[in-house]
Amino acid sequence: MQTVSSAKQTARLAAICLICALLAPWALADDAEPTQRMLTFNGFGTLGVAHSSEHRADYTFDNLQPKGAGRSSDWSPEVDTRLGGQLTANFTPQWSAVLQVVSEYRWNNTYDPFVSWANVKYAFTPDFSVRVGRIALASFLESDSRRVGYSNITARPPIEVYRLLALKESDGIDAVYRTHFDGMTNSTTVLFGKRTVTNTRGIDVHSTHVAGLFDTLEFGATTLHGAYQVRNVDNQAPSLGRFMSLGISHDPGNWFMASEWVKAVNFDGKGVRVDRLGWYINGGVRIGNFSPYATWSELLPTTPTGTTPAGQRTLAPGVRWDLAHNVDLKLQYDMVRLADQSYGTLQNVKAGTPKGGKVNVLSLVADFVF
């Protein structure tokens, strides 16, 4: 069972999210102006609950969440509930800055707010810019919006893919260059930096010499994305970690699809290389204000390590209902099949729990932006 303190924090954040969801349409309408302000504030949030059929372990969205649905809570708000705000300052046509603060369930069993983005940007031209500060890593198709539930069709990005990289931001510098040709836009980003992430045991994991190359090609309703990233991680031996991804999305309006493939290469504490692959394919249609969809995803290890592999596959049908301007409701049912002799991505597993088998997760979320 969750602690009284955690329950109070969850209830407080849920109340704030609910108020924001109710006020979102009016707040957005009042703020709509054709001219650009020097200072602009935007907010986003999700109020969600998830129920798992496995009561001896926890289903979580992020591997930095210590608890989730199942063993700790019959109906868990921690999996998806969050609230965020973003302040953008446009000082001149060249100079701008952004600050994003997020409150979500974290490694220390709290919803303590933290700074997810904080950077200054200088645009040498409309197509070439440099940013310095805390910058989102463009590792996935949905990197910039993975925390903005309203921007995502599904209740959450597939965990078989998006859990493979706990590093979401970098403290450093990046440069973005865009080219335009034949109705296409290509954006290439080069990034250097570092970042510290605290795991669920309260241990700081330092990633240094983070270097990434990211590319996005957009034409019509189609987006292609690729990423390659290397870094040194201090709890590994050797310290080198690598990550690569390829993704595509197509959304002409009345239907949509997306797919991503990722590979993560790390080393365990004994110097054994551990390769993991993740992929998913998602698709659906829009019928009025309703968008039924389904996602098929899989996580699998590709190198024998002598230890239990973390593998699983999931079929997740769901439906999104856009019930008001910038407010949606989603209902999703994840049917998770754990790999043989594996707990998959389950956390907080009770001793003696059988490995493998099936886990079913029912999620209900309300997303909003304002």
3-state secondary structure the chain: CCCHHHHHHHHHHHHHHHHHHHHHHHHHHHHCCCCCCCEEEEEEEEEEEEEECCCCCEECCCCCCCCCEECCECEECCCCCEEEEEEEEECCCCEEEEEEEEEECCCCCCCCCEEEEEEEEEEEECCEEEEEEEEECCCCCCCCCCCCHHHCCCCCCCHHHHCCCCCCEEEEEEEEEEEEECCEEEEEEEEEEEEEEECCCCCEEEEEEEEEEEEEEEECCEEEEEEEEEEEECCCCCCEEEEEEEEEEECCCCEEEEEEEEEEEEECCCCCEEEEEEEEEEEEECECCEEEEEEEEEEEECCCCCCCCCCEEEEEEEEEEEEECCEEEEEEEEEEEECCCCCCCCECCCCCCCCCEEEEEEEEEEEEEC
Q: Which residues are 170's β-sheet partners?
A: 135
pLDDT for residue 180 is more than 70: yes
Question: At residue 270, what is the residue type?
Answer: K
Band of the pLDDT at 28, cuts 50, 70, 90? very low
- Residue range 215-274, pLDDT digits in tens: 999 999 999 999 999 999 987 778 889 999 999 999 999 999 999 999 999 877 677 788
CATH number (domain holding residue 268): 2.40.160.10
Mean pLDDT of all residues in the chain?
90
Q: What is the pLDDT of residue 7?
A: 57
Q: State residue 123's pLDDT score.
A: 98
Domain count, the chain: 1
- Mean pLDDT, range 143-147, rounded to an integer: 89
Residue 32 domain boundaries: 4-369
Please tell me which residue, 17 or 265, carries the higher pLDDT value. Answer: 265
- The mean per-residue pLDDT over the stretch 339-345 comes to 91
